[in-house]
């Protein structure tokens, strides 16, 4: 049965952020992506208003004649590549919050989550990519940044580049019943939201700490790019701000969410704690000038360089890495204390 444009627009208006119009058009990967990201944070859903006619035409063409497998390579899309990067990072952040307690998380869980996020975007529409090669790129990149939340960025970049390199059109596939499609989407949705919901409901305090540490580590990477950093802060802390605006008087719901309000304080104090520790590592008092920091850094590097301590290589290596990390923290511009909440 041919798909109707008016029906598509109606479903877009009623349940667009949940992907109902994509489910109607048979774009299950796109529907799942919208279910997990609420329509790309709402922006993707609004942007689709102009794309719906082409989606309907594509769905009707697919009903009559499926895209041939191996029929050429799809054109390179910078928008799709950027979306792969963003969703890969998003999946990685959710995995850090809900699954970081797992053994070997940075070797298995994190690259798997980021790779699946990239592959989900790669499978939107009539395109797809190579599952094996994309995940291999993610798994090979992960050990390089083992134990560091910033690993999400290079893993997502490597997986996105690989997915774009191996992009192809989807092969012909037989039609499936709606119940089978909904069952598959339901399992995928539960696999994504289940661990996060369990952490939030059953281990709230630990989850808050994970969220704060993850956001703090992630946002610290943008210290050299103030405008981009401010934008990322606004996006990541938007749910908290919306909740603060909607909930005025204390009530039943706000009693539960009062624990989550502590997230703001955690994130705001994260940079302060890192700076205090960095000053301790360098043996300086807070408020030391940049010249004093640089001079002390050079002195300690000379003392603890592994080449100068061959009789205690492991200890020297540990101190040397701590000194490098402390100097990196103190070299970054500090943020105003009020900027976390209201930008």
Over residues 300-322, mean pLDDT: 83
Contact 118, 156 (CB under 8 A): yes
Query: What percent of the chain is predicted at pLDDT more than 90?
Result: 19
* Sequence-distant contacts of 314-322: CB under 8 A, at least 24 apart: 322/281
Q: What is the pLDDT of residues 109-135, one digit of tens each?
A: 899 999 999 999 999 988 899 999 999
Q: Provide the pLDDT confidence category of residue 16 given band limits of 50, 70 and 90.
A: confident
CA-wise closest residue to 317 among 325, 118, 200: 325
Over residues 163-189, mean pLDDT: 84
Q: Provide the pLDDT confidence category of residue 10 given band limits of 50, 70 and 90.
A: very high
283 — phi, psi (to 5°)?
Answer: 70, 35
Helix (H) or strand (E) holding 126: none
pLDDT of 139 > 70? The answer is yes
Neighbours of 41 (CB within 10 A): 14
DSSP letter for 128, please: E
């Amino acid at each position: 049965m041919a798909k109707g444009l008016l029906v598509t627009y109606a479903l877009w208006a009623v349940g667009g952020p949940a992907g109902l119009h994509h489910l109607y058009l048979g774009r299950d990967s796109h529907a799942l992506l919208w279910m997990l990201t609420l329509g790309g944070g709402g922006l993707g859903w609004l942007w689709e208003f102009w794309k719906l006619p082409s989606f309907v035409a594509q769905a009707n063409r697919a009903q009559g004649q499926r895209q041939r497998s191996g029929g050429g390579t799809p054109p390179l899309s910078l928008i799709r590549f950027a979306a792969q990067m963003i969703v890969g990072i998003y999946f990685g952040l959710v995995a850090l919050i809900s699954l970081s307690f797992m053994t070997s998380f940075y070797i298995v869980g994190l690259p798997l989550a980021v790779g699946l996020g990239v592959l989900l975007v790669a499978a939107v529409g009539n395109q797809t990519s190579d599952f094996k090669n994309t995940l291999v790129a993610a798994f090979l990149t992960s050990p390089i940044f083992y134990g560091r939340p910033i690993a999400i960025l290079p893993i997502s970049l490597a997986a996105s580049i690989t997915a774009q390199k191996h992009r192809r059109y989807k092969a012909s596939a037989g039609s499936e019943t709606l119940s089978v499609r909904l069952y598959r989407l339901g399992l995928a949705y539960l696999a994504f939201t289940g661990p996060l919901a369990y952490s939030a409901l059953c281990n709230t305090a630990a989850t808050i700490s994970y969220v704060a540490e993850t956001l703090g580590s992630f946002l610290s990477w943008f210290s050299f790019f103030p405008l981009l950093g401010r934008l990322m802060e606004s996006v990541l802390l938007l749910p908290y701000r919306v909740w603060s605006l909607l909930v005025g008087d204390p009530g039943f719901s706000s009693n539960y969410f009062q624990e989550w309000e502590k997230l703001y304080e955690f994130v705001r104090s994260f940079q302060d704690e890192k700076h205090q520790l960095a000053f301790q590592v360098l043996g300086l008092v807070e408020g030391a000038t940049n010249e004093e920091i640089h001079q002390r850094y050079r002195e300690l590097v000379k003392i603890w360089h592994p080449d100068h301590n061959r009789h205690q290589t492991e200890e020297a290596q540990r101190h040397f890495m701590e000194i490098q990390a402390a100097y990196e923290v103190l070299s970054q511009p500090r943020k105003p204390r009020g900027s976390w909440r209201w930008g």
